[in-house]
Amino acid sequence: MNYQAEIYKSVAKCLKEYIPEIKWIDIEKDQLQREREEFPMPMPAVLIGVGDVDWKTATGKQYGDIEVEIQVYLGRGEETYIRAEGVEGALDKLGWQDRVYEALERRSGETFTGMTRVATKKAEWGKRYVKMVSRYRCTVHQPRPKRYNK
């Protein structure tokens, strides 16, 4: 299996297992740039972006570091000012980045090493959703084509 597909499938399976209330998981492909009147995804939703790799060559294989971006979208819901009704429910949304971390930290597969969280961004509170972004880094590896191993 290629490393991009494996990372996506592994992350999606892990998130669905650890956070079963997620309703939509997809590869990040600028869905929000094409947003219409109605948000196109049921929430909670997660978009997974698999980044670029600068490859290095070693005997019999290539390897490189890659970043995987996890975008979590939750319905906007309650207000966050301290006296608002339902403020605790709104503030609980901030805990989703920790839940993602608990699910993904040190996650590995056949073509990639254990993922490590390297960044989180502050929550973006839009009109209809809250967006939270975390980035993870891991090393991917692929064997060199068989014609080079002779």
Q: Is the pLDDT of residue 11 over 60?
A: yes
Q: Which of 96, 7, 103 is nearest to 48 (CA)?
A: 7
In this prediction the pTM is: 0.86
Q: Is the pLDDT of residue 106 over 90?
A: yes
Q: Which domains does the chain carry?
A: 3-148 (3.30.2000.10)
How high is the pLDDT of residue 143? 84
Omega into 44 within 30° of 0, i.e. cis?
yes
Model pLDDT for residues 27-61, shown as the tens digit of each residue: 998 776 655 544 567 889 999 999 999 999 988 88
Mean pLDDT (the chain, rounded): 86
Q: Is the pLDDT of residue 114 over 90?
A: yes
How high is the pLDDT of residue 75? 83
Q: What average pLDDT score do residues 125-143 get?
A: 90
CB atoms within 10 A of CB 145: 8
